[in-house]
Amino acid sequence: MKTEILGELQELARTAGYYVTENVVQNLDYPDPRHYLGKGKVDFAKRMIEAFGVSLAITRHELSPSQAMNLERLLGIPVIDRTQLILEIFAEHATTKEGKLEVELASLKYQLPRLKGFGRMLSQTGAGIGTRGPGEKKLEIDRRQAQDRISRLRKEIEELAKRREISRKKRQSSSVPLVSFVGYTNVGKSSLVSEISSEDLVIEDKLFATLDTRVRKAKLPAGMQLLVSDTVGFIRELPHELMESFKSTLDEVKYSDILVVVSDASDMAIKDKYSVVDRTLREIGAGEIRRIHVLNKIDLCTNERLAELEGFFPDSVMVSALRSYNIEGILNEITRKLFGEKSRRTLRLTPAEFSNFMRFRNSVEVLSESFDRELIEIEYLSSDEINERLISSICEEGRK
């Protein structure tokens, strides 16, 4: 587990554009409260820094402001922690206005308690409020500025969230089902979504290549329309400053009809990562949504590995986005979950309701229509899922 987390830290560093020369591992139950590293490790780290000309140290745990200051003093080079590293990556990868505001808010929240005569922080992560060598008064001003900016950011984000909610409602009242691709970071979600929706997405061997949820159109083999959304990757121990923004980016996931949970079949930590994903889904209120589990990157696996995985995850669809292998397996599974197990139903509708019903004609199978005075009696086959959407859409229209 320890080496796994260290490996992930290296991946994060690489994603942020750093070249990792050396790991320093300390076997203590708790980090040293004053200097983070114990004395012996500080000496060891200093030798490494000199030998390799290291210019930055990154710590696996979040540092208290005084730990960061002390360690920097001892090592003689800048020190950042895992949270700052993730914030840096998020800042670089955010593309939408909302995403950018969320990251700025998270950075400020991280920096605020650290504004203790330690001016480097604010100027560093692009918050736009540079400060250097502050005296008490300057510090006070900086703090106030940061707090003002935080409340302004919160308001702006709230406004944008309202707008998003409106477009979500519009989408929900349409008959087209929404399928969200979720999973640990770098498992291949964007690769799969672009295979399915034939739209290009950012695909990179980097953590958090995707930060903003976007919805795209797709079609099932039987012709039914579908909306697919590509989402931000999950990670263990997400810094709590980022949790809020992470959750709001994932807000739409809980309105999905189906979740496609993607795992990297070649990753030896697949089970641990699956539990992180499972826990996160429950935390964001999406724990009850039906899932399809997809094992991606099987091109990197031996047959033994695949057999082993079949035992761990018996009902998974095995695919390779890279080789376009078995993408139809995912589509078939979506079709079965959305449209399978149809039952026969009858409705008596007014003409207005009937035209609303007709918006669902791609998702139901009409058996007969007959007219009874003002009403249209319609007999059809549909899945429970579609029927629920259909009825609530008709009721909602009726209330307008």
Ligand X SMILES: Nc1nc2c(ncn2[C@@H]2O[C@H](COP(=O)(O)OP(=O)(O)OP(=O)(O)O)[C@@H](O)[C@H]2O)c(=O)[nH]1
Which residues of the shown chain bind ligand X in the complex (CB under 6 A)? 185-191, 203-210, 233, 296-297, 299-300, 320-322
Q: Does 209 bind Mg ion (CB under 5 A)?
A: yes
Residue 185: CB minimum distance to ligand X, A: 4
State which residue, 300 or 395, has the beta carbon closest to ligand X. 300
Q: Which stretch binds Mg ion (CB under 5 A): 13-21, 22-30, 171-179, 184-192?
A: 184-192
User: Which helix (H) or strand (E) covers residue 366, if one does?
Assistant: strand 365-372
State which residue, 265 or 349, has the beta carbon closest to Mg ion. 265
Site residues (CB under 5 A) for Mg ion, limited to 210-239:
210
State which residue, 115 or 209, has the beta carbon closest to Mg ion. 209
Q: Which of 15, 190, 320, 393 binds Mg ion (CB under 5 A)?
A: 190
Cα separation, 94 vs 90, in Å, equals 6
Residue 190: CB minimum distance to Mg ion, A: 3
Residue 189: CB minimum distance to Mg ion, A: 5
Query: CA nearest 319: which of 293, 339, 338?
Result: 293
> Is there a contact between 58 and 13 (Cβ–Cβ < 8 Å)?
yes
**3-class DSSP state of 263:** strand
> Is there a contact between 332 and 221 (Cβ–Cβ < 8 Å)?
yes
207 binds, among ligand X, Mg ion, none (CB under 5 to 8 A by kind): ligand X
Query: CA nearest 365: which of 341, 349, 348?
Result: 341
326 binds, among Mg ion, ligand X, none (CB under 5 to 8 A by kind): none
State which residue, 189 or 297, has the beta carbon closest to Mg ion. 189
Residue 189: CB minimum distance to ligand X, A: 4
CB crowding 10-35: b at 16 or more within 10 Å, else e: ebbbebbebeeeeeeeeeeeebbeeb
297 binds, among ligand X, Mg ion, none (CB under 5 to 8 A by kind): ligand X
State which residue, 70 or 210, has the beta carbon closest to ligand X. 210
Query: CA nearest 157: which of 93, 88, 106, 115?
Result: 106
Q: Which stretch binds Mg ion (CB under 5 A): 48-56, 118-126, 188-196, 248-256?
A: 188-196
> Is there a contact between 31 and 37 (Cβ–Cβ < 8 Å)?
yes
191 binds, among Mg ion, ligand X, none (CB under 5 to 8 A by kind): ligand X
Question: What Å distances lie between residue 21 and 56, 88, 105, 256, 289, CA to CA?
Answer: 10, 20, 32, 43, 43
Question: What Å distances lie between residue 164 and 98, 179, 211, 233, CA to CA?
Answer: 10, 17, 16, 20
Residue 19: CB minimum distance to ligand X, A: 19
State which residue, 208 or 274, has the beta carbon closest to ligand X. 208
121 binds, among Mg ion, ligand X, none (CB under 5 to 8 A by kind): none
321 binds, among Mg ion, ligand X, none (CB under 5 to 8 A by kind): ligand X
Q: Which amino acid is at 276?
A: V
Angle at which helices 82-93 and 2-15 cross, to 10°: 40
Q: Which stretch binds Mg ion (CB under 5 A): 66-74, 139-147, 175-183, 189-197?
A: 189-197
Q: Give the residue closest to Mg ion by C-beta.
A: 210
Q: Give the residue closest to ligand X by C-beta.
A: 233
Residue 208: CB minimum distance to Mg ion, A: 8
What are the φ and ψ backbone dihedral angles of 81, each rounded to 5 degrees? -105, 175
Residue 300: CB minimum distance to ligand X, A: 5
State which residue, 92 or 379, has the beta carbon closest to ligand X. 92
State which residue, 278 or 377, has the beta carbon closest to ligand X. 278
Q: Which amino acid is at 350?
A: T
First-to-last alpha carbon distance for the chain, in angstroms, is 55
Number of residues that bind Mg ion (CB under 5 A): 4
Q: What residues contact 52, with CB distance under 8 A and at least 6 apart?
A: 21, 22
Binding site for Mg ion (CB under 5 A): 189-190, 209-210
